[in-house]
Every structure is written in structure tokens, then in C-alpha cells.
């Protein structure tokens, strides 16, 4: 375990870390989780340190798990609403006395605290795919303290870490685990791709048998798919794509159905800047919903996963998400949500 190599590093994408480093983070997360359960507290690890959290979008889990995590480690998390500060903006997107250039915000916060965490996707960057990730990279360019990605328009690396920690706890490891990430219907097309993209990246990096299931038109970023294929080759895992929901779920150990937007939602040239077309594609596939019948196709000891918030009655039936106990398959969504806390404490302890 080479923990010294983490100090001062940014966490913008899972691809910034090796498999060995990701496994170290998961080990540290489990250690912190077990210690807390035993009443062993680590409130000196980040004593007197400050995490600045800038949220361009809403959040329940991310905000509260980072905030609780910093408290448990002896530090403080400071919530910043971009509408109540001078909104951090890239050069060319500035408005006098309303925004402040990211390079200036980053250097000011760098002088006062110990890490900067940012969430940004969708409307704040006018659905320009990659625009939010570029904003985070600009923060990282100017701040010497670590910059952490709390979800952008490409990656949600802490959600993905919590997802694979949950798999490790439920199945004891990754090899031989059939991991299905599937699209599911939601009435809202305003859903980023970050969760499914991070989930399939980690799952293929760690050697699982990964299936990505979605209707035609709901393809993910081709660069992410290429990276998954490469990870699967190196890890001796598998990676495949199907346009058939039932085929995707059959014999899965992990069933992870959630909505994400189609590429047409994004601005040109990546997309078509066409939410109406996105809605029409969504509405053709209302039958992509996780029900008891869906779970009956999966492995008998499967787990249902979702990053939350879930659109109950659309993405998933109540009697699936609420079945948190066996016999048979179970919903693991609250373990998954709790694990946000433990993986983030691990990363913050290592990089701060």
C-alpha cells in the first residue's frame, strides 16, 4: 500500500488513478468504516483543515457526506453557493461584478484552505458536454491544493467509488461479478451521464463482467467506451453493450438501472441542443423500468443499485427499491449511499 503517493493530488476522474491506487482507497475506506463502527474515531486526521465545496447544482448525498466526513476527520467543510459568491467563470464567460475568473477564485481559496470540491453539470454550462469538466480542470490548474470532483458532466468519481465499495462488501471482490449498468426511463431528460460513465469505468478497471444496456440513441461517450474496453482487456474482465433490457439484466449480480440523457441533449457540435428530441427518445422507452419481474431475471443473490435520487414509479418500482432484506435479491441503495461517506473520508485523508 503506497499511501504517500496520494498527497496533494486532484481527484477529477477515476482514470487519474491506477487500479492499485483505487484498491488502496477502498481498503482505507473499509478501515475507516470499521473503526467508526467500533467507536474508534479519527478526528485528528484532518484537524483544523478546511474543504471548500462549490455546488452549481443541487445535492443531498454529496453535500452531506462530504460535510459529515470532514467533521468526523476533525476538519470543516464550507458550503459555497456560486450564486452568493461572485460566480466562478472561465475566461470569455465573465459578467462584470457578477462572476469572478476561475483562476482568481482558485488562487484565493488556495491561500485559505486545504482542498476545493466542485459540482457542476448541465444548465450552469448550458449543456456543453465537457464544459463542466473543463471548469474543474481550470480550478486544478490554478490551485495547488487538491481539487475534488463532486460530479461534472463526464465523471462522478466518488459515486463510482461508493458503488464498487458496495460490490466488494456484498460479493467479497470483483472477479466473476456480472455488473449491469442499464438505462431506465424517467420523466426528466435533464440527467447527466456522469454516474453510468464512472460506474462502468470502475467496474471494467476492477475486472468485473460489465454489461451496458440502453436503447438505441442513449449511447454514452465513445471515449469512455474505448477506455472500458481497454480496462477490461487489462483486467481480464469483460465489457459488452446490448440494446435489450432483459438481455442486459439476465444473470446479473448487480442490476443498476438509471436514466441518463441522450447525446442530442448536448450543445453542438457534440449534440444537437434539442431537449424535445431527447424527450421523444425517452418517451419511446417507458418500459425500461426495474420491477420484481426484472429482478427475477437476475442472479438469485443479485443486488439492486441506484446512486439516488431515484424516480420511483418510473426508473424503479417501490417494491424493488424498498426490498432491503432477503431472502433472494435485495436493494442495496442505502448501503451504497452510506458508502459515499466512507470513500470520501478515505480520499480526503489520503490527498489532504
**Contacts to ligand CP by CB under 6 A:** 59-62, 151, 159, 307-308
The 115-119 sheet, strands edge to edge: 76-80, 50-55, 115-119, 147-149
Q: Which is nearer to ligand CP, 80 or 280 (CB)?
A: 80
**Of 77, 82, 76, nearest in space to 54 by CA:** 82
Phi/psi of residue 210, nearest 5 degrees: -100, 130
Q: Which is nearer to ligand CP, 101 or 306 (CB)?
A: 306
Contact 351, 8 (CB under 8 A): yes
Q: Which is nearer to ligand CP, 65 or 204 (CB)?
A: 65
Q: How far apart are CB 229 and ligand CP at their closest, in Å?
A: 26
Contact 178, 213 (CB under 8 A): no
Cell output for 48? 483544523
Q: How far apart are CB 177 and ligand CP at their closest, in Å?
A: 21
Q: Which is nearer to ligand CP, 65 or 235 (CB)?
A: 65
Count the Cβ atoms, other than its own, within 10 Å of residue 329: 22
Q: How far apart are CB 111 and ligand CP at their closest, in Å?
A: 28
CA distance 107 to 334: 37
| Helix (H) / strand (E) containing 89 | strand 87-89
Q: How far apart are CB 280 and ligand CP at their closest, in Å?
A: 26
User: Which residue is closest to ligand CP by CB?
Assistant: 62
Supply the DSSP symbol for 27: H
Q: Which is nearer to ligand CP, 264 or 320 (CB)?
A: 320
Q: Which is nearer to ligand CP, 64 or 279 (CB)?
A: 64
Q: How far apart are CB 91 and ligand CP at their closest, in Å?
A: 29
Q: How far apart are CB 156 and ligand CP at their closest, in Å?
A: 6
Residue written as cell 473499509? 30
Q: How far apart are CB 293 and ligand CP at their closest, in Å?
A: 26
CA distance 126 to 137: 18
CA distance 294 to 292: 5
Residue written as cell 446512486? 307
Q: Which is nearer to ligand CP, 62 or 166 (CB)?
A: 62
Q: How far apart are CB 188 and ligand CP at their closest, in Å?
A: 13
Contact 53, 79 (CB under 8 A): yes
Q: Which is nearer to ligand CP, 60 or 234 (CB)?
A: 60
Cell output for 140? 486544478
Cell output for 200? 462502468
Q: Which is nearer to ligand CP, 49 or 258 (CB)?
A: 258
| Helix (H) / strand (E) containing 35 | helix 19-37
Q: How far apart are CB 57 and ligand CP at their closest, in Å?
A: 7
Longest dimension (CA), the chain: 60
CA distance 86 to 274: 30
Amino acid at each position: 500500500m503506497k499511501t504517500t503517493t496520494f498527497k496533494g493530488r486532484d481527484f477529477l476522474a477515476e482514470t487519474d488513478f491506477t487500479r492499485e491506487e483505487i484498491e488502496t482507497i477502498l481498503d482505507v475506506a473499509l478501515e475507516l468504516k470499521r473503526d467508526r463502527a467500533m467507536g474508534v474515531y479519527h478526528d485528528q486526521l484532518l484537524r483544523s483543515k478546511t474543504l471548500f465545496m462549490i455546488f452549481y447544482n443541487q445535492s443531498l448525498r454529496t453535500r452531506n457526506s462530504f460535510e459529515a466526513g470532514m467533521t468526523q476527520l476533525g476538519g470543516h467543510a464550507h458550503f459555497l453557493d456560486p450564486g452568493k459568491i461572485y460566480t466562478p467563470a472561465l475566461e470569455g464567460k465573465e459578467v462584470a461584478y457578477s462572476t469572478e475568473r476561475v483562476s482568481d477564485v482558485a488562487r484565493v481559496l488556495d491561500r485559505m484552505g486545504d482542498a476545493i470540491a466542485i459540482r457542476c453539470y448541465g444548465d450552469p454550462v448550458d449543456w456543453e458536454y465537457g464544459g463542466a469538466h473543463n471548469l474543474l480542470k481550470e480550478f486544478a490548474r490554478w490551485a495547488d491544493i487538491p481539487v475534488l470532483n463532486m460530479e461534472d458532466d463526464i465523471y462522478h468519481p466518488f459515486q463510482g467509488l461508493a458503488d464498487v465499495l458496495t460490490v466488494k462488501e456484498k460479493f467479497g471482490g470483483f472477479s466473476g461479478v456480472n455488473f449491469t449498468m442499464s438505462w431506465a426511463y424517467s420523466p426528466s431528460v435533464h440527467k447527466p451521464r456522469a454516474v453510468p460513465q464512472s460506474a462502468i469505468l470502475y467496474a471494467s478497471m476492477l475486472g468485473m463482467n460489465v454489461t451496458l444496456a440502453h436503447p438505441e440513441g442513449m449511447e454514452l461517450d465513445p471515449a469512455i467506451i474505448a477506455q472500458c474496453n481497454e480496462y477490461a482487456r487489462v483486467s481480464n474482465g469483460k465489457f459488452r453493450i446490448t440494446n435489450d433490457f432483459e438481455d442486459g439484466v439476465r444473470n446479473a449480480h448487480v442490476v443498476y438501472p438509471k436514466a441518463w440523457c441522450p447525446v442530442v441533449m448536448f450543445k453542438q457540435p457534440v449534440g444537437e441542443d434539442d431537449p424535445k428530441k431527447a424527450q421523444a427518445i425517452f418517451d419511446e422507452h417507458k418500459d425500461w423500468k426495474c420491477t420484481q419481474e426484472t429482478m427475477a431475471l437476475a442472479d438469485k443473490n443479485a443486488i439492486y443499485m441506484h446512486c439516488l435520487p431515484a424516480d420511483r414509479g418510473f426508473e424503479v418500482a417501490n417494491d424493488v427499491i424498498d426490498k432491503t432484506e432477503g431472502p433472494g435479491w435485495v436493494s442495496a441503495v442505502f448501503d451504497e449511499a452510506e458508502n459515499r461517506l466512507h470513500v470520501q473520508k478515505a480520499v480526503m485523508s489520503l490527498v489532504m
